[in-house]
Structure 1
Amino acid sequence: MPKVSVEIPQELLDDLDEHVGDEGKFVNRSDAIRASIRKTLDMLDEIDERHGRVETDEAESH
């Protein structure tokens, strides 16, 4: 799996860390960041579909 390096503000990292670990939703930062990216991309795809910028599977079958 490729590695990516990003710079993020400390406040954002602190917020992320609240969701990581034994008491959090994610095992580690990488899992949390991957989940966030997936969710963001899904939301962007939904917005594009609503605005007719992406063909849906249904439209492609016609």
Structure 2
Amino acid sequence: MEAEASLGGVVVGVVLGFSARFSVLFGAVAAQGFFDAHAGIAASHEILTDIIGIVSCNV
């Protein structure tokens, strides 16, 4: 009975450890994704204004 309880404690500890590590990793990935998306929006906005400028010059 005690062995099962200690095993349960180990499992809970491992799960909590993994979830904490995962949440840190996920937070880093989410932050990176946010910055990438922000940079992508800025870049696409520049490209879009360039295309509009080229089109308006050719018209």
TM-score normalised per structure 1? 0.40
Higher gyration radius (CA): 2
Q: Which one has a larger percent helix, Structure 1 or Structure 2? A: 2
